[in-house]
Amino acid sequence: MKKIDLNKISKDVLNNYTSSVSHVEECIDENFEVIIDYISKIKGRVIITGIGKSAIIGMKISATLNSTGTPSIFLHGSDALHGDIGVATKNDVMICLSKSGSNTETVDLVKQIKKLGIKLIGITSDKNSFLAKNANYSIVNKIEREACPNNLAPTTSTSMQLLIGDLIAICLMCIKEFKSEDFALYHPSGSLGKKLTLKVSDIVNYNSSPKVEINLSIKEAINEISSKMYGATAVLDKNIVVGIITDGDIRRVLNQNKNPMNLKVNEIMVKNPKFVSGDMLGSEALNLMNKSKITQLLVIDDGDYKGMIHMHELLKAGL
């Protein structure tokens, strides 16, 4: 059996992609800017369509547009030719993906789009294709060869289509000044959504706030830490936070003192503890913990101690 040099094959594929990316760069010209400007001003939606593997790429591009502030729908080319093109209006713009731009279904689709008077943007690899010549605007991305060793399976061509789609989405995102706060509105679930939306106030247990008064004994501090199970307790003086005692502080005191139980809270507490407000994002609180190498933060709003948040709670919440 002939031994296959997988390392060489992989490098050849990467070289193929690198070369093709340089051709995509050539597409970023005045024509590209005109297309982005046009899309940014339409009143309707961006409808992405295509056939075969291009259709699959179109689905992803449409999803990216939706999540970055540009309303979009995906319409499979075959479905469009069987009635579903009725979803499009003259306020919309259609982007058709096709490497050849001249296959039978794409030609029929382009004819129907033109007949309905809907603006069309073509993304193709052939400047002389039916799609390129009949679209209102076109982006021609030259593909010298597919990564497929037989130069048949859509590989490089579909990857470059995806790259062009991402370029369009990101440019529109910047034009619309789409910020992380806007992004959060479209991603309320999952790890990403939680990082953008979950606040400290959503996690902290206001009914379980470990705290001891400054004049109490170390024994009472130990009891509070043990019963609330946060690994620490806030120290208050007339309802004002003045310090914190962690289980690590307790261990150090026990090791260094012959009669530790005679000590008062104010003798072992750490002054000026780090704290956050309930409005802080949980992800920001977690970053603060990691940066400060601590596992607890006090939650204080308007000068009032509200509770404590532990790193384990943040991690359990999916941050």
DSSP-assigned letters across all residues of 34-87: HHHHHHHH-SS-EEEEESTHHHHHHHHHHHHHHHTT--EEEEEHHHHTTTGGGG
pLDDT of residue 257: 79
State the pLDDT at residue 191: 61
305 and 246 together in one domain:
yes
Q: Show the domain range for 160.
A: 6-178
> Mean pLDDT across the stretch 105-119?
95
Q: Say if residue 97 is in the same domain as residue 216.
A: no
Average pLDDT over every residue of 230-237: 92
Number of domains in the chain: 2
Q: What is the CATH number of the domain that holds 55?
A: 3.40.50.10490
Asked whether residue 213 falls in the same domain as residue 279, the answer is yes
Look at 116 and 1; give whichever has higher pLDDT.
Answer: 116
Checking DSSP bridges between strand 119-124 and strand 137-140, what pairing results, if any?
A: parallel
For residue 188, name the pLDDT band (cuts at 50, 70, 90).
low
**Does a structural domain hold residue 188?**
no
Residue 283: inside a domain, yes or no?
yes
**d(C-alpha 79, C-alpha 276), whole Å:** 53
Shared-domain flag, residues 55 and 171 = yes
**Residue 308 is part of a domain; what is its CATH number?**
3.10.580.10
In a domain, 40, yes or no: yes
Does residue 147 sit in the same domain as residue 246?
no
Q: Hey, CA dihedral for 41, 42, 46, 47, is it positive or negative? A: negative
213 φ, ψ (degrees, to nearest 5):
-80, 155
Measured between alpha carbons, how far is 302 from 263 in angstroms, rounded to an integer? 31
Residues 172 and 227 in one domain: no
48 with 74: CB under 8 angstroms? yes
Mean pLDDT of the region 304-308: 91
Q: How confident is the model at residue 1 (pLDDT cuts 50, 70, 90)?
A: low
Global pTM? 0.68
Residues 139 and 208 in one domain: no
Residue 198: the pLDDT is 82
- The mean pLDDT of 41-70, rounded to a whole number, is 95
Q: Which of 99-108, 244-253, 256-265, 297-306 has the lowest mean pLDDT?
A: 256-265
**Together in a domain, 307 and 167:** no
132 touches 100 (CB < 8 A):
no
- Work out the widest C-alpha separation in the chain, in whole angstroms: 93
Residue 185 predicted with pLDDT over 70: no
Q: Which of 119, 146, 178 corresponds to the end of one domain?
A: 178
Q: Would residue 268 count as lying in a domain?
A: yes
Q: How far is CA 149 from CA 52, 269, 306, 315, in A?
A: 20, 69, 64, 46
**CA-wise closest residue to 123 among 58, 184, 64, 173:** 58
Long-range contacts of 251-259 (CB under 8 A, 24+ apart): 253/218
Residue 191 lies in a domain: no
Distance CA 122, CA 133 (A): 9
Q: For 134-171, what is each residue's pLDDT tens digit?
A: 999 999 998 989 999 999 999 999 999 999 999 999 99
% of the chain residues with pLDDT over 70: 96
Residues 150, 204 within the same domain: no
Question: Over the chain, what is the mean pLDDT?
Answer: 90
